[in-house]
Amino acid sequence: MSVPSLLFLAFSLAAAVAYNLPFGRIWRSLILLAANVAFLASFAPSPVSLLPFAGFLLFGYVAVRTLQAKRTGALMWLLVAATLFVFLWLKRYPVAPAELFLNYPYLTIGLSYVFFRVMHLVIDAGQGQLTTSLPWLSYTNFTLNFLSLVSGPIQRYEDYTEQQDRKTSGINALTLVKVAERVTLGVFKVFVVSMLLLDQHKLAVAALGYDLSAAESIGITLQIVLLYPLYLYANFSGYCDVVIALGRLFRLELPENFNRPFSSENFINFWSRWHITLSGWLKTYVYSPLMMALMPSVRSGAAVDALIGAFAFFVTFFLVGAWHGTTTEFLFFGLLQGGGVAVNKLYQVFMAARLGKKGYRALSNNAFYSAVCRGLTFVWFGFTMLWFWGDWATIASLGLAIGWVGGLLAFAIALILMTAILALYVALMKFIDVGAAGGWKHSRVMLATAQLTAIWAFAVIFSTPAPEIVYKAF
């Protein structure tokens, strides 16, 4: 079942109607379980293909309950390592000889996001931070939640149970309108915006096979580098809009995954606005423990602290990138993410030392400096994305097509272009924020209708198939 599709929306609405019948908490949990299992099963070619998935869930449950019953540091690390190993083994990372992998087709869709939830429970249970009970029904519904199974967002268990325990659904006419408005926005982003951007991006990549002039090479490079982040944003955030909105019908307040990432003025800030729940998870379970472990107990000077901070950032965001897959392209993508935030951190420390904290703050508040930094952040992210969607051969053909001089020129043009565009974007967002705070009821209805019209046109008139959600592959 594709998310978002008409079938998925109909499925979710039918489940929401059943879920909200006044039969109490157990009923709601059972409906949610049925919906979760049905959704997962819709991807399974056979019941047997679900067994490894079920085994992983069972393993996680046993690990968490064991740690709740007997909490020791050694046991926690053993179970953390074992959970990680089982996940990597199921995802066929090279952690074991190839002969030891299961040699039949089994379901792994959403396994990464299930892993994040299970690992969060294992670590929290091991550290004694999982204070609530963990009935199997809650565990299964939390880990398998059909709204966030495919690509997140990654919710925390305590938030999930607190929301499910609420006495009232909080659903009224206004909630329904807001749900409809956000679902429309999400489907519009995926169905129309991301489709058009992907189309143009594919055309640009295909043009690499042509005999291009220098000016054409630069134009093509700009499209390839700049369009993909916009496409990915429209695709992924559109998906999140849909599932977060639908979550409201199931007493769920799924965490936001995006917060206007392209308004970020540096790469560290960017990663606190892009795929927020993943970077937040890694900050909690990788960055913070790593910092704690690396920081010397006695003061060692600002330079050492800065290096440790940069190193911890590097490791964390290397994992953000490398998590996407087993290929060398993803590893390099991870290196560029980790390298980007580490250099960003060192730059901040260096500038603060050179200009003083006040001076650096004043510089950061300078409108022109901010705009250029915003442009640079976007262009860097777009550049790193080459290793996210492309393979080495495509990247090499791009490099050959444009050359060093063309590449530098393309970079300069991209920086100027994105600096100007994003400055306008930020100004527009401020204007919209002011208007939205005042209500803007009529314009919101008009905007949602216009989006619906575009969706209708693409779906019905052009018979456009909805693009796949990119993160479904991970």
Partner 1 sequence: MKIRITRDFFVLPLLALATFAGCIALAEGFARVVVQEDLLDTCWDKDSYKPNCVSRMKIAEGPAVTMRYNECGSRSDASCAPPPPGEFRIVTLGSSVSSGYGVPLEEMYSSVAAKQLSARCNRSVGFQHVTMGWQGSSAQDVAQTAQAPAEKALGLKPNLLLVILTSWDLYKYAETEGAQVAVQTAAPPAPSGGLRDSAIFQLGQSLMAYLREQRETSRFVLMVRGLLYRNEEYFLDGYLANAEESGYMRAPLAASWEQRLAMFETTMTAIQEKASAAGVPIAIAYSPADGQVLAGRRSGRKDLDPTQLSGRFAEIAARHGWAFIDPLPRFIDAPPRLQLFYRVNGHPSAAGDALLGASIADTVAATPTLGCQS
Calculate the CA 404 to chain-centre distance: 33
Q: Map residue 214 onto helix, strand or coil.
A: helix
The count of chain residues that interact with partner 1, using the rule CB under 8 A, is: 33
Minimum distance, C-beta of residue 186 to partner 1, in the bound complex (Å): 18
Minimum distance, C-beta of residue 196 to partner 1, in the bound complex (Å): 8
Minimum distance, C-beta of residue 459 to partner 1, in the bound complex (Å): 12
Q: Map residue 326 onto helix, strand or coil.
A: coil
Residues 209-238 within binding reach of partner 1 (CB under 8 A): 209-211
- Helix (H) or strand (E) holding 8, with range, is helix 6-19
Q: Which part of the chain contacts partner 1 (CB under 8 A), choosing from 133-141, 345-353, 387-395, 435-443?
A: 435-443
462 scored as a contact of partner 1 (CB under 8 A): yes
**In whole angstroms, what is the distance from residue 101 CA to residue 90 CA?**
7
Nearer to partner 1, 173 or 298 (CB): 173
Nearer to partner 1, 115 or 191 (CB): 191
Instruction: Judge whether 114 and 55 are in contact, CB under 8 Å.
Output: no
259 scored as a contact of partner 1 (CB under 8 A): no
Task: Return the structure tokens found at 330.
Answer: 């993803």
Q: Which part of the chain contacts partner 1 (CB under 8 A), choosing from 289-297, 311-319, 394-402, 437-445?
A: 437-445
Among 202, 260, 357, 361, binds partner 1 (CB under 8 A): 202
453 scored as a contact of partner 1 (CB under 8 A): yes
180 scored as a contact of partner 1 (CB under 8 A): no
If one counts every other C-beta atom within 10 angstroms of the C-beta of residue 300, the result is 12
Token look-up 């050492």 returns 304
**In whole angstroms, what is the distance from residue 288 CA to residue 269 CA?**
17
Among 14, 81, 96, 206, binds partner 1 (CB under 8 A): 206
* Widest distance between CA atoms in the chain: 69
Nearer to partner 1, 178 or 273 (CB): 178
367-384 helix and 214-247 helix, angle to the nearest 10 degrees: 90
452 scored as a contact of partner 1 (CB under 8 A): yes
**In whole angstroms, what is the distance from residue 379 CA to residue 228 CA?**
11
- Which residue stretches of 172-327 are H helix? 173-188, 194-207, 214-247, 267-270, 276-282, 288-294, 302-322
Among 26, 174, 293, 367, binds partner 1 (CB under 8 A): 174
Nearer to partner 1, 21 or 445 (CB): 445
Q: Which part of the chain contacts partner 1 (CB under 8 A), choosing from 79-87, 362-370, 395-403, 456-464?
A: 456-464
- What does the radius of gyration of the chain's CA atoms come to, in whole angstroms? 24
Instruction: Judge whether 117 and 148 are in contact, CB under 8 Å.
Output: no
Minimum distance, C-beta of residue 184 to partner 1, in the bound complex (Å): 11
442 scored as a contact of partner 1 (CB under 8 A): yes
Nearer to partner 1, 180 or 302 (CB): 180
445 scored as a contact of partner 1 (CB under 8 A): yes
**How buried is residue 367: exposed, middle or buried, by Cβ count under 10 Å (0-12/13-18/19+)?**
exposed
311 scored as a contact of partner 1 (CB under 8 A): no
Instruction: Judge whether 260 and 273 are in contact, CB under 8 Å.
Output: yes
Contacting residues toward partner 1, per CB under 8 A:
173-174, 177-178, 196, 199, 202-203, 206-207, 209-211, 439-442, 444-446, 448-450, 452-454, 457, 460-465
